[in-house]
Amino acid sequence: MSSLKHVSTRVKGIRASSQSELQSLAAQITQEITQGALKPFKEVIDVSSGDFHKAGMKPVSFLRQVLAVCLYPELLENKDLPLDVRHRAQKFLEICDGESLGSYTASAGMLLIRQNISEFLMKRDPGVPSNPEDVFVSSGSQGALQVIVKLISGAEGETQTGVLTPMPCPHTLPPLLDKAGVTLEPYQLMEERGWAVDLQQLHRALKAARGRCKARAIYISNPGNPTGHVQDRKSIQEVIEFAAAERLLLLVDEVYQDSVFGEGREFISYKKVLFEMGKEISEKVELISFHSLSSARMGECGLRTGFMEILNMDSGVKHFVDTLLCTDICAPVTGQLALHLMVKPPTPGEASYDTYTQEILLTHTTLSHNAQRAQKFLDGLPGMSCQPVIGGIYLYPRLRLPAEIMEQAETSQVEADVLYCQRLLTEEGVLVGAGSQNEEPAGKHHLRLCFLLPPDSLEEVLTRLRSFHLRLMDSQRKTETS
In this predicted structure, the answer to whether residue 348 has a pLDDT above a threshold of 60 is yes
282 occurs within a structural domain? yes
393 occurs within a structural domain? yes
CATH of the domain at 151: 3.40.640.10
In this predicted structure, the answer to whether residue 298 has a pLDDT above a threshold of 50 is yes
353 occurs within a structural domain? no
pTM (2 d.p.)? 0.91
**What is the pLDDT confidence band of residue 438, given thresholds at 50, 70 and 90?**
low
Same-domain status, 8 and 133? no
Average pLDDT of 416-444? 86
What backbone torsions phi and psi does residue 214 show, to the nearest 5 degrees?
-105, 110
N-to-C CA span, the chain:
40
> Is residue 187 within 8 Å of 208, Cβ to Cβ?
no
Same-domain status, 217 and 186? yes
**What is the pLDDT confidence band of residue 329, given thresholds at 50, 70 and 90?**
confident
Burial class of residue 452 in the structure, from the number of CB atoms within 10 Å of its CB (0-12 exposed, 13-18 middle, 19+ buried): buried
**pLDDT at residue 227, rounded to an integer:** 96
Same-domain status, 237 and 374? no
Same-domain status, 50 and 110? no
Half-sphere exposure of 351 (CA within 13 A, CB side): 14
Domain ends where: 343, 371, 400?
343
Average pLDDT of 407-420? 90
Judged by DSSP in three states, 195 sits in coil
90 occurs within a structural domain? no
Domain ends where: 279, 312, 343?
343
Same-domain status, 46 and 188? no
In this predicted structure, the answer to whether residue 351 has a pLDDT above a threshold of 60 is yes
Rg (CA), the chain: 23
d(CA 390, CA 372): 9
**What is the pLDDT confidence band of residue 440, given thresholds at 50, 70 and 90?**
low
94 occurs within a structural domain? no
Same-domain status, 334 and 392? no
Lowest mean pLDDT among 7-16, 87-96, 300-309, 387-396: 7-16
pLDDT in tens, 137-193: 998 888 889 889 988 887 555 678 999 999 999 999 999 999 999 999 999 999 999
What average pLDDT does the structure give for the chain?
90
Concatenating the DSSP letter of every residue in 17-41 gives HHHHHHHHHHHHHHHHHHTT---SS
Judged by DSSP in three states, 446 sits in strand
What backbone torsions phi and psi does residue 288 show, to the nearest 5 degrees?
-125, 120
Decide the pairing of beta strands 249-253 and 287-292: parallel
What is the tally of structural domains in the chain? 2
88 occurs within a structural domain? no
Domain ends where: 343, 376, 399?
343
pLDDT in tens, 88-117: 999 999 999 999 999 998 888 999 999 999
Lowest mean pLDDT among 13-27, 107-121, 457-471: 13-27
Same-domain status, 323 and 404? no
Query: Within 10 Å of residue 168's Cβ, how many Cβ atoms?
Result: 26
138 occurs within a structural domain? yes
33 occurs within a structural domain? yes
**pLDDT at residue 443, rounded to an integer:** 72
Same-domain status, 303 and 398? no
Same-domain status, 181 and 232? yes
d(CA 21, CA 107): 34
In this predicted structure, the answer to whether residue 44 has a pLDDT above a threshold of 90 is yes
Same-domain status, 313 and 455? no
**pLDDT at residue 314, rounded to an integer:** 84
d(CA 345, CA 63): 9
CATH of the domain at 399: 3.90.1150.10
Concatenating the DSSP letter of every residue in 71-96 gives HSGGGGG-TTS-HHHHHHHHHHHHHS
Highest mean pLDDT among 66-75, 208-217, 276-285: 66-75
Same-domain status, 261 and 230? yes
Same-domain status, 7 and 48? yes
**pLDDT at residue 3, rounded to an integer:** 33
**pLDDT at residue 394, rounded to an integer:** 96
Query: Which residues constitute the domain of residue 285?
Result: 104-343
In this predicted structure, the answer to whether residue 476 has a pLDDT above a threshold of 70 is no
**pLDDT at residue 290, rounded to an integer:** 96
d(CA 455, CA 345): 26
